[in-house]
Amino acid sequence: MSVRSALEGVDTDTRIQYGLMGIFGSLCLITAAAPIDLLPKAVIVSTLFGFTGGIWVAHLVQIVQEAADRKRAVEGQ
């Protein structure tokens, strides 16, 4: 199974969330290695990590909500 075929089975919202997590996570790592002063580096890395974590938590909430909706629909039949 290729990565492309695996991603085709995933809905658009999840693909966007994974993409944003990848972008912000990568920027976080790049900034951590950048030759800038410690305080600005800490602020930028913390902000980017916060965005990454926030998107991840939002994704988990979305997945749990969708599973609960599916369960309610099955039980209602």
How does pLDDT run across 46-56, given as a tens digit for each residue? 999 999 999 99
Is the predicted pLDDT of residue 1 greater than 70, yes or no?
no
Per DSSP, 2 falls in state: -
Supply the mean pLDDT for the chain. 90
Dihedral sign (CA 24, 29, 34, 40): positive
pLDDT, position 6: 67
Domain limits for position 11: 3-75
- Quote the pTM value: 0.77
Q: In whole angstroms, give the CA distance from residue 2 to residue 8.
A: 10
Question: How many domains is the chain built from?
Answer: 1
